[in-house]
C-alpha cells in the first residue's frame, strides 16, 4: 500500500474510532463470545443522508509472513492448518501442494489418491456441518423463524430426531477417516512434499468402504431435504431470486481437464456473468490473473481479475469482480465428474432458470450438490485398487526455490505461495483465502442492502436482518479472514454521516 | 472416563491423571482449555489449562481431566460427553475491561444465550443438542474467560497483562475444583 493511501486510511480510521468510542453504549456481551465484534458493517452517508459507501469489516490477520520467515518450509502445512479451526484440512492441503511445487516434485499416484480421498472427506464433512448446523438452518427451519430456533436443535425439530442422529453420526465417521490418515482432524499431519505420511492398510479398508456407501446415501438424503424445503415454498424461491441477493459478476472455480468441478487439483477457470470462459490458469500463474485492490476506506484487500483491471464494484459482462465458493464452482464448471452429482447439477440449473445462476442464496443448494460429488468421489477412491499401495511418497531431491499451491476450500479458492532459500527456509509467504476472493462481492451485497433501507438519513426497520442475510449467504469465514478461531457474531452496524461522525449504531446478536 | 476415551479429534490432550480414576466415571470433572496456540493472546485458555494440569494436587488430578482443544462448536460435543461437570477456560474480548480481567459465567447465563453466528454453535446449544440426542451431557457448566489484548497477531507469546493474569486464573480454577471449600459446590447444582 502506498504511503499516501495509508495516511488517508489511518487518519480516517482514527476519527472513526474516536467517534465510535464516544458513542459506544450498552454493549451486550454474550458470555460465550470468544472474540467480540467480528461482524462490523460500516455505512457512510453523503450530505443528503443517502448511502455513499457501505462495507463489512473483518479484523485482519497480522504477522503471518513474519511468523513464517526463517521457518523450515516443511513446517508450513502444520503452521497454516493451525491458523484456522474451521478449515484446517484446506490449509494443510494447499500448503502441501505448495511444497510439491517448491521441491519440484509430484506425489506418487497412490499418495495423490490418498490426499484427494482425505480432502473430499473433509469437504463432505464441512459442507454437512454448514448445511445442518451453521448456515442451512436459516432455510431448513425458515428465514422468518426466531433466531433462537434457527439452529441444529430447530433442524432436528423439523427433520426429526433420527435424522439429527444421522447427521451427527455421519459427521463423526467422516472425521474418523480424516483422523486415520492425518492423526487428528484439527491439525492433520498427512501431507509431505511428494506424497503422504500414512498408507491405507488393506484390512482397514472395509469400514471406510462402508462409510463411503453411507456417505453417498447421506448426501442424496441431504439434497432431498433441502429441495423439499426450498422448492415447496414459493416465498423461498422468490427470495432466492430477488434482486437484493443477485449480482452479475464473474465466477472462479477449479476444474479437471474436462472442465468438471474438482476440489483437490486442476486448473482455475473463470467465467463471466454470461457463462463465457474468461480465463483458465494454473496455481503457478495466479499472479498473472489475479490482483488485489485496496480502498482508502477499508483495510480489506479486494481481489479482481488483473486483465480486466479494477473497475470499482461494477456488475455486468465486463465486471472484473469474481466470486468463489460452491455456487461459483458450479457456475465456472461445465458439469460434475460423477453421475448422481451431475443429475443434481442439471436439476439445479433447470429449476433456477439456466446457467450461470447469480442468486447468492442458491449457494446453499449448490453446497449440497457438492456433497453428492464429494461422497461419490470418496467411493471411487476408496474402491480404487491402488489406494492401499505402499508407494505413498517420492522423496524430493531437488533444491527448493518457489512454490504455489491451490485447492478449493469449502468456502472457495485458497492460494498458498512460498519462497525459500536453497535450504528450504522460508523467505516469503503469502496466501489468498476464500473470503478475500469474495470480499468485493460481499461488499456489493452489503451496500445494496444498505442503499435499499436508508434514505435521507432515515433508517428502515429490518436493516440489520437484511444486511446480515446479505453477507451470511457467502458464509464468510471470518475465522479464516481474521485467521482466528470463529467466534460469536454480534453484528454491529455503524452509520457515519458525511462528516464521518458516528450517526447511529445498531446491534444485534 | 480415562484419557484414552478422549477422541482423536482433540489436540494436545493433557489429561492422563497421575492416578487411575477409581470412582464413578459420571462424577468426573472436565476442565477444557480453548484457543489457538499460535495467535498470541488467543492461546491463554490453553496455557491456563496446561499450567493447571501441572499444579493440580494429586487428589484433584484424580477427579478431573484437563484437556486443551483448538476446535469450537460441534466438535466440543465429542469431548464433553460423559463428564458431570464442565469448566471451560477461554479468551474473551469485550473491549470493556482491562486486558487480564477475569470474567465468570455459569448457569442461566450460558444456557439461555443464543448465538446467531454462521460458524459457531454456542455452548448452550451444544448442550441442548447433546441432550436431544440422548448423550450424557455435563450437568453443570462454568466458564472462566480472560480478557485479551491481541488475539489477531500470529505468535506464541501472550501480551504482558494477559500473561500476568494466567496465575490468578489457575488459582481461580483450583478454587473451583475444591468441592467443599470453594464456590464449586454451587456449580454442582443441576441447571434448570
Residue B159 has pLDDT above 90, yes or no: yes
Residues in B touching A482 (Cβ below 8 Å): 152
Is B171 within 8 Å of chain A by CB?
no
* Residue in B106, B111, B144 with CA at minimum distance from that of residue B126: B111
Q: In this predicted model, what pLDDT tens digit does every residue of A415-458 receive, in sequence order?
A: 999 999 999 999 999 888 888 899 899 888 888 888 888 888 88
> For residue A299, what pLDDT is reported?
65
Q: In this predicted model, what pLDDT tens digit does every residue of A161-202 receive, in sequence order?
A: 888 889 889 999 999 999 999 987 777 899 999 999 999 999
Report the distance separating Cα A47 and Cα B70, nearest Å. 47
Whether residue A187 lies inside any domain: the answer is: yes
Report the distance separating Cα A176 and Cα A202, nearest Å. 17
Highest mean pLDDT among A86-100, A219-233, A325-339, B29-43: A325-339
The C-alpha cell at A366 is 449448490
Distance from CA of A478 to the nearest CA of B (A): 8
Q: State which of A345, A376, A395 marks the end of a domain.
A: A395
Mean pLDDT of the region A235-259: 91
Question: H/E element holding A90?
Answer: helix A88-102
Mean pLDDT of the region B9-28: 40
Mean pLDDT of the region A343-354: 95
- B82 φ/ψ angles, rounded to the nearest 5 degrees: 95, -15
Residue A317 CB coordination number (10 Å): 11
Mean pLDDT of the region B133-144: 88
Residues A183 and A257 in one domain: no
Instruction: Name the residue with higher pLDDT: B99 or A23.
Output: B99
Mean pLDDT of the region A454-463: 79
Instruction: Name the residue with higher pLDDT: A72 or B120.
Output: A72
Report the distance separating Cα B10 and Cα B46, nearest Å. 12
* Residue in A441, A449, A4 with CA at minimum distance from that of residue A249: A441
Query: Percent of chain A having pLDDT more than 70?
Result: 86
Would you place residue A123 in the very low, low, confident or very high pLDDT band (cuts 50, 70, 90)? Answer: very high
Residues A314 and A388 in one domain: no
The yes/no answer to whether this complex scores an ipTM above 0.85 is no
Query: Percent of chain B having pLDDT more than 90?
Result: 20
- What are the beta bridge partners of residue B104? B144
Residue that has been written with the C-alpha cell 456473468 in this structure: A273
Quote the radius of gyration of chain A (alpha carbons, Å): 23
> For residue A448, what pLDDT is reported?
86
> For residue A184, what pLDDT is reported?
76
Residues in A touching B42 (Cβ below 8 Å): 35, 484-485
Residues A221 and A258 in one domain: no
CA distances in angstroms from B137 to A132, A379, B27, B134, B176, listed in the order given? 21, 34, 12, 9, 19
Q: What is the DSSP letter of A264?
A: S
> For residue B23, what pLDDT is reported?
45
- B145 φ/ψ angles, rounded to the nearest 5 degrees: -120, 135
Would you place residue B172 in the very low, low, confident or very high pLDDT band (cuts 50, 70, 90)? Answer: very high
Residues A275 and A239 in one domain: no
> For residue A205, what pLDDT is reported?
97
Q: Which positions ≥6 away from A335 have C-beta within 8 Å?
A: A259, A260, A261, A342, A345
Lowest-confidence segment of A146-150, A171-175, A345-349, A457-461 by average pLDDT:
A146-150
Torsion of CA A308, A313, A314, A316, to 10 degrees: 80
Question: H/E element holding B106?
Answer: strand B102-106
Whether residue A452 lies inside any domain: the answer is: yes
Whether residue A242 lies inside any domain: the answer is: yes
Report the distance separating Cα B157 and Cα A394, nearest Å. 37
Residue that has been written with the C-alpha cell 501472550 in this structure: B158
Whether residue A483 lies inside any domain: the answer is: yes
Q: What is the mean pLDDT of chain A?
A: 85
Whether residue A440 lies inside any domain: the answer is: yes
CB contact under 8 Å between B72 and A34, yes or no, is yes
Reduced to 3 states (helix: H, G, I; strand: E, B; else coil), residue A251 is strand
Is A59 within 8 Å of chain B by CB?
yes
CB contact under 8 Å between B128 and A82, yes or no, is no
Residue A148 has pLDDT above 60, yes or no: yes
Report the distance separating Cα A169 and Cα B77, nearest Å. 12
* Residue in A385, A89, A475 with CA at minimum distance from that of residue A263: A89
- Which DSSP string corresponds to A143-211? TTS-GGGSSHHHHHHHH-HHHHHHHHHHHHHHHHHHHHHHSSSSS---EETTEES-PPPGGGHHHHHHH
Residue A45 has pLDDT above 80, yes or no: yes
The C-alpha cell at A211 is 462409510
Mean pLDDT of the region B171-186: 67
Residues A259 and A329 in one domain: yes
Residues A263 and A366 in one domain: no
Residues in B touching A484 (Cβ below 8 Å): 36, 39, 42, 151-152
Would you place residue A82 in the very low, low, confident or very high pLDDT band (cuts 50, 70, 90)? Answer: confident
Write out residues 150-169 of B within 8 Å (CB-CB) of A: 151-155
Whether residue A252 lies inside any domain: the answer is: yes
Residues A146 and A238 in one domain: yes
B-chain residue closest to A484, CA distance: B152
Residues in A touching B80 (Cβ below 8 Å): none
Inter-chain CB pairs, A–B, below 8 Å? 178
- Residue A211 sits in a domain whose CATH number is 1.10.645.10
Report the distance separating Cα A125 and Cα A172, nearest Å. 9
Instruction: Name the residue with higher pLDDT: B58 or A228.
Output: A228
Instruction: Name the residue with higher pLDDT: A85 or A330.
Output: A330
Would you place residue A253 in the very low, low, confident or very high pLDDT band (cuts 50, 70, 90)? Answer: very high
Reduced to 3 states (helix: H, G, I; strand: E, B; else coil), residue A379 is helix
Q: In this predicted model, what pLDDT tens digit does every residue of B78-123 receive, in sequence order?
A: 888 889 899 989 888 777 789 999 988 876 666 544 443 444 566 7
User: CB-side exposure of A61: number of CA atoms within 13 Å?
Assistant: 29
Report the distance separating Cα A100 and Cα A98, nearest Å. 5
Contacts 24+ apart (CB under 8 A), A395-400: A395/A194, A396/A103, A396/A104, A396/A105, A396/A193, A396/A194, A398/A103, A398/A104, A398/A105, A400/A73, A400/A102, A400/A103, A400/A104, A400/A424
Is A85 within 8 Å of chain B by CB?
yes
Q: Are B92 and A37 in contact (CB under 8 A)?
A: no
CB contact under 8 Å between A186 and B92, yes or no, is no
In the CATH hierarchy, which fold is given to the domain comprising B11-181? Rossmann fold (3.40.50)
Lowest-confidence segment of A294-298, A317-321, B13-17 by average pLDDT:
B13-17
Is A434 within 8 Å of chain B by CB?
no
Q: Are A151 and B125 in contact (CB under 8 A)?
A: yes
Residues A117 and A215 in one domain: yes
Whether residue A350 lies inside any domain: the answer is: no
Per 3-state DSSP, chain B is made up of helix, strand and coil in percentages (nearest 5) of 35, 20, 45
Report the distance separating Cα A256 and Cα B63, nearest Å. 54
Report the distance separating Cα A327 and Cα A351, nearest Å. 14
The C-alpha cell at B104 is 465468570
Q: In this predicted model, what pLDDT tens digit does every residue of A258-316 receive, in sequence order?
A: 999 999 999 999 999 999 999 999 999 999 999 988 877 666 788 999 999 999 889 99
Whether residue A469 lies inside any domain: the answer is: yes
Q: State which of A371, A395, A419 marks the end of a domain.
A: A395
Q: What is the DSSP letter of A132?
A: I
Minimum-distance CB partner of A485 among B42, B77, B122: B42
Would you place residue A145 in the very low, low, confident or very high pLDDT band (cuts 50, 70, 90)? Answer: confident
Residues A367 and A312 in one domain: no
Q: What is the DSSP letter of B138?
A: -
Residues in B touching A161 (Cβ below 8 Å): 132-133
- A474 φ/ψ angles, rounded to the nearest 5 degrees: -85, -5
Distance from CA of A318 to the nearest CA of B (A): 32
Q: In this predicted model, what pLDDT tens digit does every residue of A367-395 receive, in sequence order?
A: 999 999 999 999 999 999 999 999 999 99
Residues A260 and A375 in one domain: no
CB contact under 8 Å between A135 and B118, yes or no, is yes
CB contact under 8 Å between B118 and A475, yes or no, is yes
Residue B19 has pLDDT above 70, yes or no: no
Is B95 within 8 Å of chain A by CB?
yes
**What domain range includes position A126?**
106-246+359-395
Would you place residue A204 in the very low, low, confident or very high pLDDT band (cuts 50, 70, 90)? Answer: very high
Is B9 within 8 Å of chain A by CB?
yes
Query: Percent of chain B having pLDDT more than 70?
Result: 68
Q: Are A441 and A474 in contact (CB under 8 A)?
A: yes
Is A32 within 8 Å of chain B by CB?
yes
Residues in B touching A174 (Cβ below 8 Å): none
The structural domain count of chain A equals 3
Residues A125 and A170 in one domain: yes
Write out residues 29-68 of B within 8 Å (CB-CB) of A: 34-39, 42
Mutation test of the interface with chain B: which of A189, A363, A434, A485, choosing the one with the most B Cβ atoms within 10 A?
A485
Residue that has been written with the C-alpha cell 482423536 in this structure: B8
Mean pLDDT of the region A73-98: 89
Using a 10 angstrom Cβ sphere, with 0-12 exposed, 13-18 middle and 19 or more buried, the burial of residue A239 is middle
Residue B145 has pLDDT above 50, yes or no: yes
> For residue A27, what pLDDT is reported?
29
CB contact under 8 Å between B152 and A27, yes or no, is no
- A221 φ/ψ angles, rounded to the nearest 5 degrees: -65, -40
Residues A367 and A232 in one domain: yes
Q: What is the mean pLDDT of chain B?
A: 73
Inter-helix orientation angle A205-231/A363-382, to 10°: 160
Minimum-distance CB partner of B92 among A34, A62, A185: A34
CB contact under 8 Å between A152 and B71, yes or no, is no
0.90 exceeded by the pTM?
Answer: no
Amino acid at each position: 500500500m502506498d504511503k499516501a493511501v495509508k495516511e488517508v486510511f489511518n487518519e480516517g480510521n482514527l476519527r472513526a474510532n474516536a467517534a465510535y468510542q464516544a458513542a459506544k453504549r450498552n454493549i451486550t456481551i454474550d458470555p460465550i463470545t470468544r472474540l467480540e465484534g467480528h461482524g462490523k458493517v460500516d455505512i457512510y452517508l453523503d450530505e443528503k443522508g443517502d448511502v455513499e459507501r457501505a462495507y463489512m469489516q473483518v479484523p485482519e490477520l497480522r504477522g503471518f509472513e513474519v511468523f513464517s520467515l526463517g521457518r523450515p518450509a516443511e513446517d508450513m502445512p502444520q503452521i497454516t492448518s493451525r491458523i484456522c479451526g474451521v478449515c484446517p484440512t484446506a490449509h494443510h492441503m494447499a500448503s502441501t501442494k505448495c511444497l510439491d511445487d517448491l521441491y519440484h516434485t509430484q506425489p506418487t499416484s497412490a499418495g495423490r489418491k490418498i490426499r484427494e480421498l482425505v480432502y473430499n472427506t473433509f469437504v463432505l464433512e464441512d459442507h454437512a456441518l454448514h448445511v445442518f448446523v451453521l448456515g442451512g438452518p436459516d432455510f431448513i427451519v425458515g428465514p422468518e423463524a426466531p433466531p433462537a430456533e434457527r439452529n441444529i436443535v430447530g433442524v432436528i425439530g423439523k427433520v426429526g430426531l433420527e435424522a439429527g442422529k444421522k447427521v451427527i453420526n455421519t459427521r463423526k465417521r467422516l472425521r474418523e477417516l480424516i483422523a486415520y490418515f492425518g492423526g487428528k482432524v484439527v491439525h492433520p499431519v498427512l501431507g509431505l512434499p511428494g506424497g503422504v505420511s500414512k498408507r491405507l492398510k488393506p484390512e482397514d479398508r472395509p469400514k471406510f468402504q462402508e462409510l463411503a456407501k453411507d456417505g453417498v446415501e447421506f448426501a442424496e438424503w441431504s439434497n432431498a431435504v433441502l429441495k423439499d424445503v426450498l422448492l415447496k415454498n414459493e416465498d423461498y424461491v422468490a427470495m432466492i431470486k430477488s434482486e437484493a441477493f443477485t449480482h452479475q459478476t464473474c465466477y472462479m472455480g477449479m476444474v479437471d481437464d474436462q472442465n468438471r468441478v474438482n476440489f483437490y487439483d486442476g486448473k482455475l477457470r473463470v467465467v463471466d456473468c454470461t457463462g463465457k470462459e474468461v480465463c483458465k490458469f494454473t496455481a503457478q500463474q495466479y499472479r498473472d490473473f489475479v490482483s488485489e485492490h485496496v480502498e482508502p476506506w477499508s483495510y480489506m484487500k479486494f481481489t479482481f481479475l488483473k486483465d480486466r483491471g479494477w473497475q470499482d464494484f461494477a456488475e455486468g459482462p465486463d465486471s472484473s469482480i469474481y466470486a468463489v465458493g460452491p455456487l461459483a464452482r458450479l457456475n465456472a464448471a461445465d458439469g460434475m465428474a460423477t453421475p448422481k452429482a451431475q443429475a443434481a447439477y442439471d436439476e439445479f440449473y433447470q429449476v433456477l432458470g439456466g446457467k450461470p445462476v447469480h442468486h447468492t442464496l442458491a449457494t446453499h443448494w449448490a453446497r449440497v450438490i457438492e456433497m453428492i460429488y464429494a461422497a461419490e468421489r470418496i467411493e471411487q477412491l476408496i474402491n480404487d485398487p491402488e489406494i492401499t499401495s505402499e508407494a505413498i511418497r517420492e522423496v524430493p531431491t531437488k533444491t527448493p526455490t518457489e512454490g504455489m499451491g491451490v485447492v478449493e476450500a469449502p468456502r472457495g479458492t485458497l492460494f498458498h505461495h512460498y519462497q525459500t532459500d536453497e535450504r528450504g527456509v522460508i523467505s516469503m509467504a503469502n496466501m489468498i483465502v476464500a473470503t478475500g476472493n469474495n470480499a468485493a462481492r460481499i461488499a456489493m451485497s452489503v451496500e445494496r442492502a444498505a442503499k435499499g433501507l436508508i434514505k435521507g438519513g432515515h433508517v428502515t426497520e429490518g436493516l440489520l436482518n437484511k444486511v446480515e442475510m446479505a453477507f451470511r449467504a457467502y458464509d464468510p469465514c471470518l475465522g479464516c479472514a481474521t485467521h482466528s478461531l470463529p467466534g460469536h457474531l454480534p453484528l454491529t452496524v455503524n452509520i457515519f454521516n458525511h462528516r464521518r461522525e458516528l450517526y447511529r449504531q445498531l446491534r444485534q446478536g | 472416563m480415562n484419557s484414552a476415551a478422549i477422541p482423536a479429534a482433540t489436540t494436545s490432550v493433557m489429561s492422563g491423571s497421575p492416578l487411575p480414576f477409581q470412582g464413578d466415571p459420571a462424577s468426573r470433572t472436565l476442565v477444557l482449555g480453548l484457543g489457538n496456540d499460535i495467535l498470541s493472546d488467543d492461546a491463554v485458555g490453553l496455557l491456563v489449562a496446561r499450567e493447571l494440569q501441572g499444579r493440580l494436587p494429586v487428589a484433584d488430578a484424580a477427579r478431573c481431566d484437563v484437556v486443551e482443544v483448538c476446535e469450537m462448536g460441534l466438535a466440543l460435543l465429542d469431548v464433553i460427553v460423559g463428564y458431570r461437570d464442565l469448566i471451560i477456560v477461554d479468551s474473551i474480548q469485550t473491549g470493556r475491561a482491562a486486558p487480564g480481567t477475569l470474567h465468570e459465567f455459569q448457569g442461566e447465563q450460558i444456557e439461555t444465550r443464543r448465538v446467531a453466528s454462521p460458524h459457531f454453535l454456542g455452548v448452550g446449544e451444544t448442550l441442548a443438542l447433546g441432550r436431544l440426542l440422548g448423550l450424557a451431557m455435563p450437568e453443570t457448566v462454568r466458564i472462566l474467560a480472560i480478557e485479551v489484548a491481541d488475539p489477531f497477531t500470529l505468535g506464541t507469546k501472550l501480551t504482558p497483562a494477559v500473561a500476568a493474569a494466567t496465575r490468578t486464573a489457575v488459582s481461580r480454577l483450583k478454587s473451583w475444583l475444591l468441592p467443599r471449600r470453594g464456590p464449586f459446590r454451587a456449580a454442582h447444582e443441576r441447571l434448570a
